[in-house]
Structure 1
Amino acid sequence: MVTMQEMADRLGISKSTVSLVLTSKDSGRVSPAVADRVRRCARDMGYVPNPLASSLRTNRTHIIGFISEQVATTPFAGRVILGAQEAARRFDYILMTVNTNGDDGLRESEIGALKKYGVDGFIYSCMYNQSARLPASLADQPLVLADATDATGRVPSVVPDERRIGLDGTRRLIQAGCRNIAFIGSHGPMRAQRARLSGYRQALKEAGMEYDPGLVANVHMGHEAMDKVADLFERRSPDGCFCFNDARAWYVYNEAARRGLTIGRDISLVGVDNHQVLAEMLVPSLTTIELPHYEMGYWAACKLVSMIEQRDLSHLALPRTPATIPSPRLTDARIHCHLVEKESVRAIP
């Protein structure tokens, strides 16, 4: 391995001068001509920085701890990890991922293990948008939340714009000429459920359509869902359905087939998730809103690096992705999700 001292000897300059250039601290301290010679010499000699030596100088390991609450075991949500990993690599950080499965004891054990490795900061990610109960062991650490928020509002976070999901999905059905639009929702006090229903209601109001609670069916899964969707069709005969997720859209497909209705002609559907199996395997394929898992992970890693290094990344060139990645300068980021047009919505008249 080539050392800074060997480079200094070859160039006939001091090791400290070489160090200033290779650690990007040469501005105003080393002449541009000398700095250029050092960089060319580094390329010619194949100099590779020693991360261990760097960590001793800066008291940083360039390791980010990624705490997964079931994200790592959820196929499409796992793209949060991919986004974080690719952003971390851009800044010469590596990602060390642990999965806790929601177990408090395991979570504390894994956080302790990551601290022993000297991680510079943490990303804490949940498998769906929720208010996270953060462990006290992270209180003094640089921390960013992905697909979750902190009840206190003090921890930077990134989530999908859930209300906009309901708004955009319902608007698309209205554009297709639907006038009797159902909302197939989820049970429980989920933030996404409340916000998507709010967006659905706003879209109806914009179009001069009355909100009808009778067109809302909040369902679990299995036979209960099939029965509730069947009852909705029997009572209200919807011509469009905005579905909380792609899995719930399946029950509408099933009921439409039972009644001899053609999806995309007699009734239009929009789902949420762009589930890698359901959205493509349903016939006709399901128009759906893709959740920004990759984008959330990428933003979280950029934000965390900006906190660790106290660095302004507001002008960072971000990758082009289906959903636009917000500026890392924000502390409460909401991502406008991308609607993926397929075949389950009638063509716009």
Structure 2
Amino acid sequence: MTTMKEIASRTGVSVSTVSLVLNNRDEGRVKPEIARRVRATAHALGYKSNPLARSLRTGKTRILGFVSEEVATTPYAGGIILGAQDAASSLGYMLLTVNTDGTSNEADEIATLKRYGVDGFMYAKMSNRYVDVPDSLRDWPLVLVDATDREGRFASIEPDEFRIAYDATKRLIDAGCERIAYIGCLEPLIAQAGRLEGYRRALEDAGRAFDESLVTNVLNNGPALKAVSDLFDRANPDGAFCFNDARAWYVYECAARRGLTIGRDVSVVGVDNHRVFAETLAPKLTTVELPHYEMGYWAAVKLVSMIEPDRDLAAFERPKTTAPLPALDVPMPAKIHCTLVEKESVRGENRSLD
């Protein structure tokens, strides 16, 4: 196994200089050209750091804890964990993930991560909601993922819910829809409030009046289908922005029952880019992709910046992602502008329907 002593011998510098460079503590201490030579030599020799030795020396394990509720068991949101893992690995950290079922076993799982000596935590929820941060995490480096603490005290990352709705509604306006419905959510989520406001503002900016009769907030199954059916009967919408892809199914069903064609008579935009709904519905559903991977990636980088405040991450190479990552120093909560994925359910996209 290659040692720092070997790298020092090859590059003609001291072992302490090699240590500074390979532990990312060289800025202002080692000339840039020497640091580049040390890193190139270490790479060529296949040098791998010893995590145990480093943790004993620095008091840091370079392990990040990821506490999730449902995220780890939800297929299309697993990208949050993948993004966090990719970022952690790129920065020289390992990710330990635990999945909780809420408050019943959350304290035990957090305690387990602490016993492993994690340097900080990511705390993730589903469906972007306000949370009360557990007391056991309040004094640790912490980033919330797809959630915001009620006190506004902790760093957090979430989708830009307002822009999701604004972009989706504007797409329907640009397609020539005159009566655009909003199929919302009855749960009191951050996402619901942001998306309703974005829908309203897009209409107002286009010179349209907000019409309460075009809005229905639903949960699921039979009652939701009936509520959307009632909306069709009273308002005859020719466009629909749906809180998520699952709710778009109700619009497809109601249109089919009335002999209407999605993408021609009724245009639809969902949210999630859910791999089942968005690809299985016919015609394929135009949708806004939620930035699961991006949220996980940003959260891990942000957490490392808190653990290592002297480490320069401004020049850290960011991956190519569907949605652009915000800067680390933006006001909290950080918001990601999500991407509209064009498919076939908006007028003018699927020429075969004309």
Q: Same fold (TM over 0.5)?
A: yes
- Distance 1:57-1:200 versus aligned 2 partners, 3 A rule: same
Residue 293 of structure 1 corresponds to which residue in structure 2?
292
Letter matched to residue 341 of structure 1: E
The alpha carbon displacement at 1:315 in A equals 4.0
Whole-Å separation in 2 of the counterparts to 1:264 and 1:230: 18
Structure 2: 5+ residue stretches without partners: 350-354
Aligned pairs for 1:152-231 within 5 A = 152-231=151-230
The alpha carbon displacement at 1:295 in A equals 0.7
The alpha carbon displacement at 1:261 in A equals 0.3
Letter matched to residue 336 of structure 1: H
Residues 187 and 218, structure 1, Cα contact 8 Å, conserved in 2: yes
Residue 346 of structure 1 corresponds to which residue in structure 2?
347
Moved more, 41-50 or 143-152: 41-50
The alpha carbon displacement at 1:314 in A equals 3.4
Does residue 325 (structure 1) correspond to residue 317 (structure 2)? The answer is no
Moved more, 41-50 or 292-301: 41-50
Residues 172 and 239, structure 2, Cα contact 8 Å, conserved in 1: yes
Aligned pairs for 1:12-27 within 5 A = 15-25=15-25
The alpha carbon displacement at 1:223 in A equals 1.0
Whole-Å separation in 1 of the counterparts to 2:158 and 2:10: 52
Aligned pairs for 1:31-180 within 5 A = 42=42, 46-102=46-102, 104-180=103-179
Whole-Å separation in 2 of the counterparts to 1:126 and 1:31: 44
Residues 127 and 189, structure 2, Cα contact 8 Å, conserved in 1: no
The alpha carbon displacement at 1:44 in A equals 6.2
Whole-Å separation in 1 of the counterparts to 2:164 and 2:12: 63
The alpha carbon displacement at 1:105 in A equals 3.4
Whole-Å separation in 2 of the counterparts to 1:151 and 1:215: 31
Alignment RMSD, CA only?
2.4
Whole-Å separation in 2 of the counterparts to 1:288 and 1:28: 48
- 1:151-181, CA deviations, whole angstroms, 9 ceiling, x for partnerless residues? 1111000111111111111111110111111
Residues 314 and 329, structure 1, Cα contact 8 Å, conserved in 2: no
Letter matched to residue 126 of structure 1: K
- Distance 1:9-1:257 versus aligned 2 partners, 3 A rule: closer
Whole-Å separation in 1 of the counterparts to 2:160 and 2:215: 21
Letter matched to residue 166 of structure 1: A
State the percentage of identical aligned residues.
60
Q: Indicate the SS of the match to 1:109.
A: helix
Residues 88 and 94, structure 2, Cα contact 8 Å, conserved in 1: yes
The alpha carbon displacement at 1:308 in A equals 0.4
The alpha carbon displacement at 1:74 in A equals 0.9
Q: Indicate the SS of the match to 1:302.
A: helix
Whole-Å separation in 2 of the counterparts to 1:19 and 1:11: 13
Whole-Å separation in 2 of the counterparts to 1:245 and 1:34: 53
State the TM-score, normalizing by the size of structure 1: 0.92
Whole-Å separation in 2 of the counterparts to 1:347 and 1:141: 51
Letter matched to residue 327 of structure 2: S
Moved more, 312-321 or 299-308: 312-321
Residue 243 of structure 1 corresponds to which residue in structure 2?
242
Q: Indicate the SS of the match to 1:249.
A: helix
Whole-Å separation in 1 of the counterparts to 2:32 and 2:272: 52
Whole-Å separation in 1 of the counterparts to 2:307 and 2:205: 44
Residues 268 and 345, structure 1, Cα contact 8 Å, conserved in 2: yes
- Distance 1:267-1:90 versus aligned 2 partners, 3 A rule: same
Q: Indicate the SS of the match to 1:288.
A: strand
- Distance 1:106-1:46 versus aligned 2 partners, 3 A rule: same
Residues 157 and 331, structure 1, Cα contact 8 Å, conserved in 2: no
Letter matched to residue 69 of structure 2: E
Q: Indicate the SS of the match to 1:76.
A: helix
- Distance 1:259-1:64 versus aligned 2 partners, 3 A rule: same
The alpha carbon displacement at 1:122 in A equals 0.3
Residues 83 and 294, structure 2, Cα contact 8 Å, conserved in 1: yes
State the TM-score, normalizing by the size of structure 2: 0.91
Q: Indicate the SS of the match to 1:271.
A: strand
Whole-Å separation in 1 of the counterparts to 2:184 and 2:146: 20
Whole-Å separation in 1 of the counterparts to 2:52 and 2:313: 25
Letter matched to residue 136 of structure 1: D
Structure 1: 5+ residue stretches without partners: none
Residues 173 and 240, structure 1, Cα contact 8 Å, conserved in 2: yes
Equivalences, count: 348
The alpha carbon displacement at 1:32 in A equals 7.8
Whole-Å separation in 2 of the counterparts to 1:304 and 1:40: 27
- 1:59-94, CA deviations, whole angstroms, 9 ceiling, x for partnerless residues? 111100000111001111111101111111110111
Whole-Å separation in 1 of the counterparts to 2:265 and 2:22: 66
Moved more, 244-253 or 7-16: 7-16
Residue 316 of structure 1 corresponds to which residue in structure 2?
316
Letter matched to residue 179 of structure 1: E
